[in-house]
A and B are shown apart, each in its own frame.
Chain A
Amino acid sequence: MVAELGNFALILALCLALLQSVLPLVGAQTGSLRLMRTGRFLASGQFVFLAIAYGVLTWAFVASDFSVRYVASHSALSQPLMYKVTAVWGGHEGSLLLWVAILGAWGVAVARFSRSLPREMLARMLAVMGMVSVAFIAFTVFTSNPFDRLVPGPADGRGMNPLLQDPGMILHPPLLYMGYVGTAVVFALSMAALMGGRLDAAWARWSRPWTIVAWVFLTLGIAMGSWWAYYELGWGGWWFWDPVENASFLPWLTATALLHSLAVTEKRGGFKVWTLMLAIITFALTVLGAFIVRSGVITSVHAFATDPDRGVFLLAMLAATLLGSLTLYAWRAPRVGLGGGFHWFSRESLLLANNVLLTVACAAVFIGTLYPLVLDAFGLGKISVGPPYFDAVFAPLMLPLLLLVGLGPTVMWKQSSPAEVVRQLRWVLLASVVAGGLWPLTMGAWRPLTALSLMLGSWILLTALLDIRKRLAGRQPLATRLRRVLRPSFLGMHLAHVGLALVVVAIAMVNTYEVERDVRMEPGQTASAAGFDFTLLRMEAVRGPNYDADQAVVEVTRDGRPVATLYPQRRYFDTQPQNPMHQASLHRAATRDVYVSLGERLVGDAWSFRLYYKPYMAWMWSGAILLALGGLLAAGDKRYRLSRRREREAAARPGVSREVTAS
């Protein structure tokens, strides 16, 4: 009964979304204030019903209502409550419901936080978001309904895959979906601006916070997925260039280009077409990602169950997105206009190079991901394109970009003197080369590519520090100077770039100097890897909430000094005792991770183990956090400044502030 309520709520939300796509748009075209205002109301109503639908599904899980097919396949009586709640997004149908609920929430946020937008633009924006909602809700209701019944309902469910019963897995999908949906918001804003013929610096200024927030969530979502794979799967791997991983990485690359391109459009009025195209492509890549994951067109461990009907629906959505937006652009292109000129050596030219490089990298990953499909479709054979290809192709494209990251803040807008920049940066350049060059020697063998990566990482770090120091210099009072440095957009930019540097360093170090060893140990024996000694103290049998496990107690020492005690497990879940999962145990430190995975019982009392030494792994996660933090800071800046300025205007009317886009 309750499940039907959920379905009903979903259908109501669909109806409201339909209205939302049409009424505000008509209102904007005709200038009708009443119709335009309906956008806000409809968005809130839509969200209320989506929240109800989501709540109903959650309740079905918590109450273990196995007459709902989705609940029966993703939950079990023995499943811990927390994982019952998170199982809601553990499968295709439920995760779609989460997606549309988040889309609804962003719609409300847009309606709430966009008071400074012109009415027509807000109305059009909500209308486009309504269209996106219609597409996704219709997809859910008609092809992937989580409320389908299973008659008769089984006594116990199948249970969620044990791999997903993990704290890391709780956060990963919601974060990612927040990011994906955010790209829809930016897309909607661009379409609204295009419709109204208003692709100006103001449009860029409004787009920026939304883009940055979407980007932050994408970053966190991707990082979370990597982190989870790293500590949960127990292989020490954190990125596999799997098609589904690529599906989330592609929009991240273009979103990064987009937020830099927006900077130019906002400050200098240039790059409008780039920005517009990037906004369209980022959202299109999101829809493409959904297609890749949910249609079965590409084999992947990550893909949801496949169904050609769903694939066709998603393809239709992708077609509508791309063809619709390109047609709109073709129609409105004369209104877009160009920005001003700039010199060969200027911040604009570097940001242009940044755009180009990120787009090229995105295209390369895109081609690698879809190439097997192309060959297969034309009957030219079945091949696989995996990490060896992507690693070989992606890294060389990224390295020049890292150089630009350090260079950018020092180079001025419109025209800069190369000689002057060199003069300012020469010591930093030297220091980076020396630091990066010598750093690998602390780890072992010197490798040129590793040294280059470390040099670039140091370069970014040191140029950021230099830029901060430049701002701190001067004869103004300390408070003023500090305020200049602590300005969110400035600090945010450098924090994010430093975060990137940390990630680069981590990747270079781990890929070059990691150690992995298979060993055989009986209780009491010791094995070594990378200077650490691992002693198996004993084996135990433990019981978890819904599993039995064999647990090894391994003591880790270095030069006789104790480092950690690790407890790797081999878990036999109640729902599938014949498929054991292993749970690695790891010890984290600033410059290295050490961890152990338990294998199987060998002859006698021995067990097989895999020992891992992963240098600088923690820098990867810290770097990701800094990236996100930097982004959040930068996003916070704009709105804060905007509302403060509004208050000042209100107080100082009819005067006009002469402060153009500063910073």
Chain B
Amino acid sequence: MKLKLLIPLVAVTALLGLLLLGLGLNSRDLPSPLVGQPAPAFTLESLEDPETILTEQDFIGEVALVNVWATWCSTCRQEKPLLMELARGGIPIHAFNYRDERDAALRYLEMTESPYRTIAYDPAGDAGIDWGVYATPETYVLDAEGVIRYKRIGPLTRQLLLDEVLPLIEKLRAEKLRAENLSAEPSRRTS
């Protein structure tokens, strides 16, 4: 008889424990399956110059951030100062201007400074879907080979930068340096 009662008791405790755990989770955070994948291809006009066509290759080359923003996104304004700091610190930041109007975006960039190296204009949100964007602002960290190594959904915060983003960028830069040294070695030996 004791066993018969023990089973429901264990089950109930397990359920309660699970629900307690669940309270601590944020049910809205979606981990991105693109982390570890190469940056998805796209072909878009440059925001500043409609004649110039940009592709994902324009975002690849060095360790960089890719920021998805729009003028109608109020939270994007909040993270702008942080992005400016990063840009001044020498970290290249590329961007998608997502589902926006070219004129409004250009005006916005004129009024405040622009932290962005290159901006791809994605009015239809097609590249957005390819990159798994669903809530602006979003920020990706690309390594030198163009593989997505990190994705942040929501605005960047100073804490996040200190804890996760900046250490990651350092690590990726070190990786790139090691890779360059390795490829340079054979030529050194022969000489």
Q: A330 to B21, alpha carbons, bound, how many Å?
A: 28
Task: Given A326-B5, A326-B12, A333-B5, verify A370-B27 contact (CB < 8 Å).
Answer: no
| Contacting residues, chain B, for A100 (C-beta < 8 A) | none
B25 is an interface residue with CB less than 8 A from chain A: yes
Closest to A292 in B: B19
Chain A residues with CB under 8 Å of B9's CB are: 323, 326
Indicate if B184 sits at the interface (CB-CB under 8 A): no
Pair A319/B18 contact, Cβ less than 8 Å = no
0/1 string, A280-292, CB within 8 A of B gives 1? 0000000000010
Q: What string of 1s and 0s marks CB contacts (under 8 Å) between A303-319 and chain B?
A: 00000100110010011
List chain A positions with a Cβ less than 8 A from chain B: 291, 295-299, 308, 311-312, 315, 318-319, 322-323, 326, 329-330, 333, 370, 373-374, 376-377, 381-382
- Output the residue of A295, A312, A329, A373 with the most chain B CB within 10 A: A373
In the complex, the chain A residue whose C-beta lies closest to that of B20 is: A315
Q: Are A311 and B23 in contact (CB-based, < 8 A)? A: yes
Q: When the two chains form their complex, are residues B16 and A376 in contact, meaning their CB atoms are under 8 A apart?
A: no
The docked-state distance in angstroms from the alpha carbon of A661 to that of B89 is 86
Q: Is the CB of B23 within 8 A of A297?
A: yes
In the complex, are the beta carbons of A297 and B19 less than 8 A apart? yes
CA distance A296 to B28 in the complex (A): 10
Q: Which of A291, A333, A382 meets B19, CB within 8 Å? A: A291
Closest CB in chain B relative to A650 CB, distance in Å:
44
The contact of B18 among A308, A312, A370, A381, by CB within 8 Å, is A370
On B, residues with C-beta under 8 Å from A are 1, 5, 8-9, 12, 16, 18-25, 27-28, 30-31
| Cβ-defined partner of A319 (8 Å) among B16, B22, B31 | B16
Residue in B closest to A299 when the chains form the complex, CB atoms: B27
Bound Cα distance A312, B30 (Å): 24
A232 to B28, CA, bound (A): 27
Of A318, A330, A370, most B-chain CB atoms within 10 Å: A330
Give the most central of B20, B22, B27, B30: most A CB within 10 Å. Answer: B22
Cross-chain contact B12 with A373 (CB below 8 angstroms)? no
What chain A residues lie within 8 Å of B18 (beta carbons)?
370, 373-374, 377
List chain B residues, Cβ under 8 A from A326: 5, 8-9, 12
A377 touches B25 (CB 8 A): yes
Are A308 and B12 in contact (CB-based, < 8 A)? Answer: no
Contact of A377 with B5 at beta-carbon distance under 8 Å, contacts A296-B27, A382-B30 already known: no
Instruction: Report how far A299 CA is from B29 CA in the complex, Å.
Output: 11
Cβ–Cβ contact B27 & A297, under 8 A: yes
Q: Are A376 and B27 in contact (CB under 8 A)?
A: yes
7 of the cross-chain contacts (CB-CB < 8 Å) are A296-B27, A297-B23, A308-B23, A323-B12, A329-B5, A377-B21, A382-B31
Decide: A333 near B23, CB < 8 A? Known: A370-B18, A382-B31.
no
Is the pair A318, B27 in contact by a Cβ cutoff of 8 Å? no
The 4 nearest A-B residue pairs measured at CB: A377-B21, A297-B22, A311-B23, A299-B27
Give the residue of A322, A376, A377 whose beta carbon is less than 8 angstroms from that of B12.
Answer: A322
Pairwise interchain contact A318-B8, C-beta atoms closer than 8 A: no
Please name the residue on chain B nearest to A308 by beta carbon.
Answer: B23
Q: Could you tell me the distance between the alpha carbons of A322 and B5 in the complex, rounded to whole angstroms?
A: 12
Taken together as a complex, chains A and B put the C-alpha atoms of A329 and B28 apart, in Å, by: 39
Residue of A nearest to B25 (CB): A376
Nearest-CB residue, chain A, relative to B12: A322
Expressed in whole angstroms, the minimum distance between the Cβ of B32 and any Cβ of chain A is: 11
Nearest chain A CB to B137 CB, angstrom units: 21
Nearest CB in chain A: distance from B106 CB, A? 24
Which residues on B sit within 8 Å (CB–CB) of A297? Answer: 19, 22-23, 25, 27
Q: Report which residue of A319, A329, A333 has the largest number of chain B beta carbons within 10 angstroms of its beta carbon.
A: A319
A591 CB, min distance to chain B CBs, angstroms: 42
Complex alpha-carbon distance, A305 and B176, angstroms: 46
How close is A38's CB to chain B, nearest CB, in angstroms?
33
Please measure, in the bound complex, the distance between the C-alpha atom of A8 and the C-alpha atom of B5, giving whole angstroms.
Answer: 43
Given contacts A329-B5, A377-B25, 12 further A-B contacts (CB under 8 A): A296-B23, A297-B22, A315-B16, A315-B19, A322-B16, A326-B8, A333-B1, A333-B5, A373-B22, A376-B22, A376-B27, A382-B30
**Which chain A residues lie closer than 8 Å to B27 at the CB level?**
296-299, 373, 376
The interface residues of chain A lying within 8 Å CB-to-CB of B16 are 315, 318-319, 322
Kindly list chain B residues whose C-beta atoms are within 8 Å of the C-beta of A373: 18-19, 22, 25, 27
Q: For B20, what are the chain A residues with a Cβ–Cβ distance below 8 Å?
A: 312, 315
Q: In the complex the two chains form, what is the Cα distance from A13 to B8 in whole Å?
A: 35
CB pair B28 A312 closer than 8 Å: no
Taking CB atoms, residues of chain B closer than 8 Å to A308 are 23-24
* B19 contacts across to A, CB distance below 8 A: 291, 297, 315, 318, 373
Q: How far is the CA of A298 from the CA of B24 in the complex (A)?
A: 11
Residues of chain B with a CB closer than 8 A to A370's CB: 18
C-alpha gap A330/B12 in the complex (Å): 14
Contacts of A291 in B (CB 8 A): 19
Provide the residues of chain B in CB contact with A377, threshold 8 Å. 18, 21-22, 25
Q: How far is the CB of A319 from chain B (nearest CB, A)?
A: 5
Nearest Cβ in chain A — how far from B135, in angstroms?
14
A333 CA / B8 CA spacing, docked (Å): 14
Chain B residues, Cβ within 8 Å of A318: 16, 19
Cβ–Cβ < 8 Å partners of B23 in chain A: 295-297, 308, 311-312, 315
For the complex, what is the distance from the CA of A326 to the CA of B27, rounded to whole Å? Answer: 31
Q: For the complex, give the distance between the alpha carbons of A297 and B19 in Å.
A: 8
Closest CB of chain B to A546's CB: distance in Å? 26
Among B12, B20, B27, B31, residue most surrounded by chain A Cβ atoms (within 10 Å): B27
Q: Which residues on A sit within 8 Å (CB–CB) of B1?
A: 333
